[in-house]
Amino acid sequence: MTSFQMSAQEEMVEKFLNAAARGDLTQVSSFLSHIPSLINKTGYSGWTALMLAARNGHHHVVEKLVSLGCDKFSVNSSSQTAYDVAKFWGHRHIGSLLSRSEGSCRRVLPGDDFGPQENYFSRETLDRLSGRRSDEVWLEAKQKDPDTVYLLFSNLSPMVSTSQDDNDGGDIKLCRFRYEEIKEFLQKPSTVLIFLGMERVKNPPSSSQTEEGTGEPPVWFAMSTDEDPAELLRRSREKTCLFPKTPNRDLLKFSEEEAGVVAQARSVLAWHSRYSFCPTCGSSTRPEEGGYKRSCLNSECRSQRGVHNTCYPRVDPVVIMLVIHPDGNQCLLGRKKVFPAGMFSCLAGFVEPGEAIEEAVRREVEEESGVKVGPVQYVSCQPWPMPSNLMIGCLAVAISTDIKVDEKEMEEARWFSQQQVIDSLFRGASPAFFVPPRQTIAHQLIRHWVGVNSNL
């Protein structure tokens, strides 16, 4: 009789665990309403209902089990908790739920520890050595060093090389010059020189190398000149060097390593092009500190006393956000008139003075689409050298869903289902719309949401 009773109990546990593995919330709830003790029962290899639901991506079942007080720290025979299982199988939304408590709106947002690893333009391949910028003797010596790398810009476009005759296709590379090739440009008053930094050391030099020389890796400079681009190209030692015909678009064709260098150089050079005259008194300015400061030539100017942000390169913060429908299965995308036909992207806008990131997100979304936003969560950021923005990527949960587009800001805004977004990203067969390229943070935010959406 005892044996029969144990067998029935085991069968009950097996049915309960199977329901959790299948994501059958109704049956899981029914079992627990009659036999609450089932909640932490284990089956094969010590797996609980929570672990099985986490393994198969059933967010609604995991949420129910957690709300009923199941043991989140129980481990199976492999010493894995339900959180470990969810993380291993890539169910980030469940990992976030198990790592902390969430409100009803917060459940559609992923955890901070699951954001994109790195955005285009963000890779730092050079050590900026900001402490060296005021060392004029060291900088002058490095300028003449035969190993020093120079990048040449004209009208904020870098000189590049390509393996194809038509620069509309394929990746491009920065043309790198040495001191002897560009030294005459350094003597011209109109030339702007920016110290970019020193190559990061992958393999530290040996003691013998250090004794023979400085042992320091090459440093990089960016140089902008107003000389005719055709003349610059004529002087280039490489016949494949050119200036891109479509500078902004072609900035997305560099390798990840060079893109970060271009972002740094172009942003600072853009600042120099706009601040030849002092914003405080209107007098001429001169570059200092390796190109990271401009000082007014008027000794009586107020900017000569104290620290003023007009003297240093500026970065303009922009919030860019993917707004998620309250049901968690749709996202809000919009398009401007200047977008290519069929392209939709995340909403975005500049942060105003004295405004927090969260409030900027809420204000911009409501201004552009009429949708009100509640919870806001930072995901990652991206330098955007067009001319010098910092894109602050966020996810946000809508608390209203009616769309009323500001026609001055947007041409259209729509809710797109998860499946529509997946088709646009991965199917490639005549999708209803398409999103910006992978190099943009808008693309990464959309892809990030798809990866953590609770119904995948």
pTM given for the model: 0.71
pLDDT digit string, tens, across residues 165-195: 544 556 789 999 999 988 888 888 889 999 9
Torsion of CA 231, 233, 234, 237, to 10 degrees: 140
As a whole number, mean pLDDT of residues 330-359 equals 95
Residues 6 or more apart from 4 whose CB is under 8 A from it? none
Q: Per the structure block, which two tokens stand in for 355?
A: 């405004």
CA separation for the pair 155, 138 (Å, rounded)? 28
Q: What is the pLDDT of residue 228?
A: 78
Give the pLDDT band of residue 3 (cuts 50, 70, 90). very low
Distance CA 200, CA 178 (A): 19
Mean of pLDDT values over 347-358: 96
Q: What confidence tier does 260 reach under pLDDT thresholds 50, 70, 90?
A: very high
Mean pLDDT of 36-62: 91
Q: Burial, 233: exposed, middle or buried (Cβ in 10 Å; 0-12, 13-18, 19+)?
A: middle
| Structure tokens given for 322 | 């993917």
Which pLDDT belongs to residue 209?
Answer: 46
What pLDDT sits at residue 411?
Answer: 94
* 387 cis-preceded (ω within 30 degrees of 0): yes
Indicate the DSSP class of residue 254. S
What percent of the chain has a predicted confidence (pLDDT) above 70? 86
The pLDDT tens digits for 11-32 are 899 999 999 999 999 999 999 9
> What's the mean pLDDT when you consider all of the chain?
85
- At 116 the pLDDT is 46
Spatial CA neighbour of 336 closest among 408, 248, 392: 408
Query: Would you say 268 and 286 are in contact if contact means Cβ atoms under 8 Å apart?
Result: no
pLDDT at 164: 56
> Of 124 and 92, which is predicted with more confidence?
124
- Candidates 375, 372, 379; CA nearest to 402 is 372
What's the sign of the alpha-carbon dihedral 13, 18, 20, 25? Answer: negative
The C-alpha atoms of residue 343 and residue 204 are separated, in whole angstroms, by 47
Which has the higher per-residue pLDDT, 266 or 208?
266
Q: Which phi and psi angles does 448 have, rounded to 5°?
A: -60, -45
Q: CA 327 to CA 107: how far, in whole Å? A: 10
- Of residues 166 and 130, the one with the higher pLDDT is 130
Q: Longest Cα pair distance anywhere in the chain, in angstroms?
A: 102
What pLDDT shows up at residue 79?
A: 65
Rounded Cα gap, residues 87 and 82, in angstroms = 9
334 burial type by CB count under 10 A (0-12 exposed, 13-18 middle, 19+ buried): buried
Q: H/E element holding 76?
A: none
Residue count of the chain, please give it.
Answer: 456
Of all residues in the chain, the percent with pLDDT exceeding 90 is 56
Neighbours of 100 (CB within 10 A): 9
- For 138-149, write each residue's pLDDT tens digit: 999 999 999 999
Q: What residues form DSSP beta bridges with 332? A: 323, 415
Tens digit of each residue's pLDDT (9 = 90 or more) over 262-272:
999 999 999 99
- Residues 47, 82 contacting (CB under 8 angstroms): no
Question: How much is the pLDDT for 429?
Answer: 55
Query: Could you tell me the domains of the chain?
Result: 2-101 (1.25.40.20), 135-274 (3.90.79), 316-452 (3.90.79.10)
Output the pLDDT for position 2: 46
pLDDT digits (tens, 9 = 90+) for 387-432: 999 999 999 999 999 999 988 889 999 999 988 998 888 765 567 7
